[in-house]
Amino acid sequence: MIDTNDTDATGPLDGLLVVEAGTMISAGTTGRLLADFGATVVKVEHPETGDHLRHFGPQADGTGLWWKYLGRNKQSVTLDVSGPDGRTVFEDLVSEADVLLENFRPGTLEKWGLAPESLRERNEDLVVLRISGFGQDGPYSSRPGFGTLAESMSGFAYLNGFEDRPPLLPPTGLADSVAAMFSTFAVMFALWEREVNGGTGQVIDTSLVEPIFSILGPQPLRYDQLDEVEERAGNRSTSSAPRNVYETGDGRYVAISASTQPTAIRVFEAIDRPDLTDDPRFADNESRLENVEELDAIIQDWMDERSREEVLDVFEETGATVAPIYNVADIVEDEHYQARDALVDVPDDELGSGTVQNVVPKFSDTPGEVTHLGPRKGEHNDAVYGGLLGYDDETLDDLRAAEVI
């Protein structure tokens, strides 16, 4: 194991060694999730450029905040695998690992002479996770893949937004993050097969498109059975009403969801209109969907006369379902987030300290922990190459001189 002297804390994945050889968000998020729960994740970066995530998005005095977040709890080593010496080092590293994560374009590892099949000749127990835009096979597999393309082709963008406006892309790497979550539990499934069912390692093929398509509900079944293509509905739901975002009298916003009959009745009670329960236009969910414009107008009129805090108080008293629309400043100040320790302030030698989302979900006995934010490029070269692989000082000096690490 690698002794980084970061912490004595362990999580449920303590003892699991993961090599992360990808770039940007999808592989980085998978590695972050595993590292959060105690896995030793060795992040392999090119000696010159490093992970592109270091230079992506907002910077604090030249320090990439995306990197600090997704690089947390990881060990960073540098390695150029384009030459034979680099490939040898990579093979040595992966031969010690339980899991390899990569999200290059299909064929890249093969081009470098590092195909999963050859890596598993030295380590048959290796689980190889491959994330790509469109998967390892199929007519689109060779295309460059980014989350935006997946959000477009999965059906997400088509459904997102308002009916009288263009399709709407998400403001962050949604497809990458969804693919990473699917990939994380896929890795754990493969490890269960290896450890419990007597199997060996295997290769996991995750595309960016299919996971986000998977969470969109019964779209194919609806098309198959009803010949319907669901259209954009803004903040409304095509399945239940009321469900929308409403502006309060002080210019702030709340969201309401009433997906069952009892919750809809409590909304009517909250807005002091219990009579709507017996109104044939709103008596059941099907009727409410047919008359949603009128229903939303009634609710909005009530909202116009009250501040957001008044709305929240009334809805809480009646047990109706409502939530304020928060920005990140609201989240940081919210007492529930604070009570749940949903944010954690982590010391960092570049930022001084940094506030990030805490580890989720919560474990009763072996919780995860954020021990450090994203490290400097190559910060753990000596710990990994010298400590884990046992390279002596002369070998390390030669690799540095040849710009392999």
Residues 164, 205 within the same domain: yes
Q: Model confidence over 310-368: pLDDT tens digits?
A: 999 999 999 999 999 999 999 999 999 999 999 999 999 999 999 999 999 999 999 99
| Placement of tokens 């779209």 in the chain | 219
pLDDT at 211 > cutoff 80 = yes
Q: What pLDDT, on a 0 to 100 scale, did the predictor assign at position 142?
A: 95
Do 143 and 220 form a contact (C-beta atoms < 8 A)? no
Looking at the domain assignment, is residue 224 inside a domain? no
Q: What pLDDT, on a 0 to 100 scale, did the predictor assign at position 49?
A: 94
> Which of 277, 310, 330 is a domain's end point?
330
Residues 149, 288 within the same domain: no
Residues 69, 200 within the same domain: yes
Q: Give one word for 170, left, alpha or beta, with left for phi > 0 and alpha for psi -120 to 50.
A: beta
Give me the mean pLDDT over the 152-171 stretch.
97
pLDDT at 3 > cutoff 50 = no
Q: Model confidence over 250-293: pLDDT tens digits?
A: 999 999 999 999 999 999 999 999 999 999 999 999 999 999 99
d(Cα 255, Cα 322) in Å, to the nearest integer?
Answer: 6
Question: What is the percentage of the chain residues whose pLDDT exceeds 70?
Answer: 98
Backbone torsions φ then ψ of 170, nearest 5 degrees? -75, 160
Give me the mean pLDDT over the 165-183 stretch.
97
Residues 146, 65 within the same domain: yes
Q: What pLDDT, on a 0 to 100 scale, did the predictor assign at position 287?
A: 97
Residues 63, 124 within the same domain: yes
Residues 267, 379 within the same domain: no
Give SS3 for 314.
Answer: helix
Q: What pLDDT, on a 0 to 100 scale, did the predictor assign at position 350?
A: 97
Looking at the domain assignment, is residue 238 inside a domain? no
Looking at the domain assignment, is residue 284 inside a domain? yes
Confidence tier at 7 by pLDDT (50, 70, 90): very low
Q: What pLDDT, on a 0 to 100 scale, did the predictor assign at position 10?
A: 74
pTM above 0.85, yes or no: yes
pLDDT at 386 > cutoff 50 = yes
d(Cα 405, Cα 88) in Å, to the nearest integer?
Answer: 12
Q: Model confidence over 36-85: pLDDT tens digits?
A: 999 999 999 999 999 999 999 999 999 999 999 999 999 999 999 999 99
Looking at the domain assignment, is residue 376 inside a domain? yes
d(Cα 265, Cα 26) in Å, to the nearest integer?
Answer: 42
CATH of the domain at 306: 3.30.1540.10
d(Cα 217, Cα 243) in Å, to the nearest integer?
Answer: 17
Looking at the domain assignment, is residue 189 inside a domain? yes
Q: Model confidence over 74-133: pLDDT tens digits?
A: 999 999 999 999 999 999 999 999 999 999 999 999 999 999 999 999 999 999 999 999
Looking at the domain assignment, is residue 262 inside a domain? yes
- H or E segment at 116? helix 116-122
Looking at the domain assignment, is residue 139 inside a domain? yes
- Residue of 43, 50, 49 whose CA lies nearest to 29: 43
Residues 123, 155 within the same domain: yes
Residues 192, 299 within the same domain: no
Residues 169, 311 within the same domain: no
Looking at the domain assignment, is residue 234 inside a domain? no
- Beta pairing class for 253-257 and 17-20: unpaired
Residues 311, 373 within the same domain: no
DSSP for residue 252? -
| Mean pLDDT for all residues in the chain | 96
pLDDT at 5 > cutoff 70 = no
pLDDT at 6 > cutoff 70 = no
Residues 169, 301 within the same domain: no
pLDDT at 372 > cutoff 60 = yes
Residues 285, 176 within the same domain: no
Please list the residues that pair with 99 across neighbouring strands: 18, 127
Q: Which domain holds residue 354?
A: 17-215+342-401
Question: Could you tell me the two tokens for 246?
Answer: 């409403």
Asked if the bond preceding 242 is cis, omega within 30° of 0, the reply is yes
CATH of the domain at 119: 3.40.50.10540
Q: What pLDDT, on a 0 to 100 scale, did the predictor assign at position 4?
A: 38
Catalytic residue list: 176
Q: What pLDDT, on a 0 to 100 scale, did the predictor assign at position 73?
A: 98
The end-to-end CA distance of the chain, in Å, is: 20
What's the number of domains the chain is made of? 2
